[in-house]
Structure 1
Amino acid sequence: MTEFDDALRLTPTDTPGAYGVDLSGDWTIGGGINGGLLLSVMGNALSQTLGAGGHPDPFSISAYYLAPGRPGPATVETALVRKGGSVSVGSASLVQRDADGNPVEAIRVLATFTDLDRTPTDSDVRLTPPELPPLDKCVRASDAPPAVLKEADLLQRSDLRLDPATAMWAVGQPSGRGMIQGWWRFADGREADALSLLFACDVLPPVSMDLGKLGWAPTIEFTVHVLGKPASGWLRIKHFTEHVAAGHFVEDCEVWDSEDRLVAQSRQLARLPRPLG
């Protein structure tokens, strides 16, 4: 079993539609579980619930982040909202216990699922894949300073190669454009699939860093559209923002596969990092 599959492993409970999961600290950044990983866990639970009706794949999923996800046990509670012919709609909540044993809802999701193997294959895409330097000319995330790696176990799960032109914030020279892009695949060689695209849309550093705003940028809302199952090989991911206001920024993401197909898009609203001190 790969690291990602192990992180998504669910245990059925006595309650129909509810699953237990052990959230591993291997997927943390700054002490909290990565939001994309949490979304993939919930997507897997919804796949179990909605897949029985012929719709196993995420198509459009929106999540509201209510509290940080922490390493340890959690429960994902799912429900069928509507069963349709080509799509089904489901809801899910991820719940953990606080220090006093009280249940705390960390994320609430509403999602549409389908069977991506049966969706139409025709497309009219007006976007183009990001132009990236060759892999050996990009910056490896694993080469980050030890102090950074210590606070981001997540980086060890991915082989992430950033476009140097969008990674100068790492040496104190952000471009100010609000864009970060690069190549990505799992470090253990696992091929990407529909569920992992939910993670891929959140795997790059937040674009607030390219604006010179370093630090944790907590997500308020995150929506991912899965447009198809990716071909094998490296994915190209582009994050950018065109809207910063009210102490928050809107981050858009495009994910392209090795056959130049746009396989996922996402948009999230996140809070700008607060000044230190």
Structure 2
Amino acid sequence: MDRMAYAAARATIGDSEFDRDTAVVARPDEPGTYDIDLSPGWTIIQAVNGGYLLAVVGRALRDALPHDDPFTITAHYLTASQPGPAVIRTETVRAGRTLSSGQASLYQTDAEGRETERIRVIAAYGDLGALPDDVRTSATPPVMPGYADCVGSEDAPEGSGPVPGSTAILDRLDLRLDPATAGWAIGAPSGAGDMRGWLGLADGRDHDALSVLLAVDALPPTAFDLGLKGWVPTVELTVHLRCRPAPGPLRVALTTRNLAGGLLEEDAQVWDSADRLVAQSRQLARALLA
């Protein structure tokens, strides 16, 4: 990575921390290849958040493909990513008139100097704004208190929660949890496997399709509501985007209904301020039972 060229390109992105920290820079001599400096600001404990990683790779695919919006994107997390330089290699699989498909992998160099694949992604992109506006659904927005009646990290007692201390990502989010799903923070998880909350970005940037990729993995894991503690690493994550979100915070609802063999599923629904279902996701994660 040419770090001076990367820093210069990143400086032109604008005021949003999310946009700067997901900025990718194309290598002029390697079509479809991008450099990124993964920011330590989006870490949980020491690992880079999976939703942030998906947004980074999603941005590279958006640049490589002829369409802007991910319709469906699936990631397999192969090894834990660390803050610092990474390279993304993309491949256009098919470029159609209304839908294009591509794949990408993000690599980092390990302590022994070997290039290691961290995440592999396949996706279909199109134009969310061109989709018809008919809606036929039985899905309804999550029932939860208003933003002002939900709780943020500043409301938690000192030293509470299953992860000691604060995590860097919380400083970059405007996250307010439904009190009914926040009992784990004071040692009283409900056991239902639910997590709900309002989600914005701390710098006030409105959500778009790429930040929705972050949103599906930005809340505390449902494992906390099941009474588990510690890191819950993602194995696979698939996101379906249905429309571009309206301005304002998102409502995110996560549910887990089955934990078996040390693995759990986590289903997410993401609703915007206009009461539209903008995204759905499912991930498979490892549950650390100790």
In the alignment, is residue 114 of structure 1 matched against residue 129 of structure 2? no
How far apart, in 1, do the equivalents of 2:154 and 2:279 lie? 25
Q: Aligned residues: percent identity?
A: 51
In the alignment, is residue 94 of structure 1 matched against residue 111 of structure 2? no
Q: TM-score, normalised by structure 1?
A: 0.95
Paired residue type of 1:174: P
Paired residue type of 2:239: V
Q: Which of 62, 83, 87 is 1:75 aligned to?
A: 87
In the alignment, is residue 262 of structure 1 matched against residue 277 of structure 2? yes
Q: Which of 161, 164, 170 is 2:179 aligned to?
A: 164
| Alignment CA distance shift 1:145-1:91 (3 Å) | farther
The answer (yes or no) to whether the contact 1:142–1:155 under 8 Å persists in 2 is no
The answer (yes or no) to whether the contact 1:31–1:151 under 8 Å persists in 2 is no
Q: Which of 183, 190, 194 is 1:175 aligned to?
A: 190
Structure 1: runs of 5+ lacking an equivalent: none
Name the SS for the 1:129 alignment partner.
coil
Q: Comparing 129-138 with 157-166, which one deviates more in the overlay?
A: 129-138
How far apart, in 2, do the equivalents of 1:138 and 1:5 lie? 27
How many residues align structurally?
A: 272
How far apart, in 2, do the equivalents of 1:135 and 1:56 lie? 31
How far apart, in 1, do the equivalents of 2:168 and 2:283 lie? 22
Alpha-carbon offset, residue 229 of structure 1:
0.3
Alpha-carbon offset, residue 142 of structure 1:
4.1
Post-superposition Cα deviations, 1:139-187, rounded to whole Å, max 9, x if no partner, equal: 1024446655845100000010000011101111110100010111001
Q: TM-score, normalised by structure 2?
A: 0.91
Alpha-carbon offset, residue 242 of structure 1:
1.4
| Alignment CA distance shift 1:146-1:93 (3 Å) | farther
Q: Comparing 125-134 with 30-39, which one deviates more in the overlay?
A: 125-134
Report matched runs for 1:1-277 at 5 Å: 1-13=15-27, 14-50=29-65, 53=66, 55-144=67-156, 150-275=165-290
How far apart, in 1, do the equivalents of 2:131 and 2:253 lie? 25
How far apart, in 2, do the equivalents of 1:127 and 1:185 lie? 22
The answer (yes or no) to whether the contact 1:149–1:155 under 8 Å persists in 2 is no
The answer (yes or no) to whether the contact 1:80–1:91 under 8 Å persists in 2 is yes
Name the SS for the 1:224 alignment partner.
strand
How far apart, in 2, do the equivalents of 1:266 and 1:42 lie? 17
Paired residue type of 2:101: V
Structure 2: runs of 5+ lacking an equivalent: 1-14
